[in-house]
């Protein structure tokens, strides 16, 4: 079974999570960094081979709080990506389950059908080309659906695939949102100090797409944000921000942009704080989650973990020179 990336059961702890909502790998003016994908920035990008990374997120089972799909939408808006393809809705969706929407543009009314869009953009000041895949998890014919996406990936020359997902977990909203990273690619495992997922059980379209990409020879990384299960409703800007920050660390390209999302994440946390104070049971539960989280993090201060982090730092520094 492929490990891309079958989400843990709702309410599960997220193993191996990198917890981050700030502190990313964005570059300063004139500085060149190399990502694990070979992305170059600044003057060092000139004359380099282009690197094409496909980033995919799907609404539905893989998308707690809409964090993953909202993160991908923000990338689409920030980079002003151009739509280049769409999969046939009639082939993959049950419209009684995933219903079309009535949309009005001014005085005009039209039907918006659920589908999967592919958009492309060449990121300025870098050798990075991005293919964004945003869709609704299909109702059926998943083998044909993923084969269709892989055909587009081949046509667009995709070198790497990044899957964005979000799940409900027993985590407190007051702590950094955990983002787990997994890959089955040996080279990426070494670069990321990551392990393959050990999950076994029901999977979503991310798991199937990752498995098909593996068979097609496309190295794949899965990023999953853990959304507090007691605030599962959309939007979830803190989880969205955590996913984008982790993506920045992978590609060494600023993706978060302006401060609007950070402000939304802070406002979201304040709002949940206010709701929790109005319910003593919820407040006590959040405190319990905080204590469990803080206790679990204590081993991370061990000499072994510090040495491991320093080794990773030296490795990154050596590649930047």
Least confident span in 4-18, 37-51, 241-255: 4-18
Residue with the bigger pLDDT between 10 and 246: it is 246
Q: Where residue 189 sits, what CATH number does that domain have?
A: 3.40.50.10900
Model confidence pLDDT, tens digit, residues 240-252: 999 999 999 888 8
Cβ atoms 53, 158 nearer than 8 A:
yes
pLDDT band at 303 (very low <50, low <70, confident <90, very high): low
Q: State mean pLDDT over 49-61.
A: 95
**Number of alpha carbons in the 13 Å side-chain half-sphere of residue 57:** 27
| 6 within some domain | no
1 domain-assigned: no
| Residue 8 domain flag | no
- Pairing status of strand 101-105 against strand 178-182: unpaired
Phi/psi region, residue 258 (left: phi>0; alpha: psi -120 to 50; beta: rest), is: beta
291 within domain boundaries = yes
Taking the CA atoms of residue 241, residue 244, residue 249 and residue 251 in that order, the dihedral angle to the nearest 10 degrees is: -160
| pLDDT score recorded for residue 15 | 40
Residue of 287, 173, 278 whose CA lies nearest to 232: 173
The pLDDT of residue 310 is 57
For 95-151, write each residue's pLDDT tens digit. 998 899 999 988 899 998 999 999 999 999 899 999 999 999 999 999 999 999 999
Please provide residue 128's backbone torsions phi and psi, each rounded to the nearest 5 degrees.
-100, 125
Compare 269 and 299 and report the one with higher pLDDT.
269
- The residue-averaged pLDDT of 173-191 equals 91
Cβ-Cβ contacts under 8 Å for 168 (sequence gap 6 or more): 10, 11, 64, 226, 227, 228, 229, 232
- Taking alpha carbons only, the member of 268, 247, 219 closest to residue 72 is 247
Amino acid 46: pLDDT:
81
Name the helix (H) or strand (E) containing 129.
Answer: strand 128-136
Q: Which domain holds residue 109?
A: 17-320
Q: Which residues contact 278 (CB under 8 A, 6 or more apart)?
A: none
Contacts of 151 (CB under 8 A, 6+ apart): none
Please give the tally of structural domains in the chain: 1
> Is 257 within a domain?
yes
Please give the structure tokens belonging to residue 2: 């492929």
Cβ-based neighbours of 222, under 8 Å, separated by 6 or more: 3, 4, 5, 162, 163, 165, 180, 181, 182, 183, 197, 206, 210
Q: Is residue 5 part of a domain?
A: no
Q: Is 103 within the bounds of a domain? A: yes
Using a pLDDT cut of 90, give the percent of the chain over it.
57
What is the average pLDDT across 50-67? 95
**Res 4: pLDDT:** 45
Mean pLDDT of the chain: 83
In Å, how far are 43, 155, 249 from 48, measured between CA atoms?
10, 21, 20
Q: How confident is the model at residue 308 (pLDDT cuts 50, 70, 90)?
A: low
Answer yes or no: is 48 within a domain: yes
pLDDT digits (tens, 9 = 90+) for 193-229: 888 888 888 999 999 999 999 999 999 999 999 999 9
At residue 203, the pLDDT reads: 92
Which structure tokens are listed for 314? 């030296």
């Amino acid at each position: 079974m492929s490990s891309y990336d079958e989400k843990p059961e709702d309410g599960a702890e997220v193993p191996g999570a990198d917890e981050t909502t700030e502190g990313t790998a964005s570059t300063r003016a004139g500085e060149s960094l190399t990502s694990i994908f070979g992305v170059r920035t600044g003057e060092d990008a000139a004359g380099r081979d282009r690197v094409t990374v496909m980033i995919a997120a799907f609404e539905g089972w893989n998308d707690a709080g809409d964090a993953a799909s909202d993160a991908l939408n923000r990338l689409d808006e920030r980079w002003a990506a151009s739509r280049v393809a769409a999969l046939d809705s009639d082939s993959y969706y049950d419209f009684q389950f995933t219903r079309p929407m009535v949309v009005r543009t001014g005085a005009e009314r039209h039907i918006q059908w659920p589908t999967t869009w592919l958009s492309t953009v060449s990121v300025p000041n870098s050798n990075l080309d991005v293919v964004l895949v945003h869709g609704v998890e299909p109702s059926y014919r998943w083998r044909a659906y993923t084969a269709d996406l892989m055909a587009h990936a081949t046509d667009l020359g995709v070198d790497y695939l990044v899957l964005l997902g979000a799940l409900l977990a027993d985590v407190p909203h007051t702590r950094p949102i955990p983002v787990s990273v997994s890959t089955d690619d040996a080279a990426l495992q070494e670069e990321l100090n990551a392990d393959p997922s050990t999950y076994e059980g029901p999977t979503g379209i991310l798991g199937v797409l990752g498995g098909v990409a593996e068979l097609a020879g496309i190295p794949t990384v899965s990023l999953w944000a853990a959304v507090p299960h007691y605030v599962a409703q959309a939007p979830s800007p803190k989880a969205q921000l955590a996913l984008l920050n982790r993506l920045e660390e992978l590609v060494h390209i600023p993706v978060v942009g302006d401060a609007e999302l950070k402000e939304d994440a802070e406002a979201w946390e304040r709002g949940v704080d206010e709701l929790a104070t109005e319910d003593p049971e919820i407040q006590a539960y959040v405190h319990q989650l905080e204590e469990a989280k803080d206790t679990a993090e204590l081993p991370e201060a061990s000499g072994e973990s510090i040495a491991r982090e320093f080794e990773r730092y030296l490795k990154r520094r050596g590649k930047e020179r």
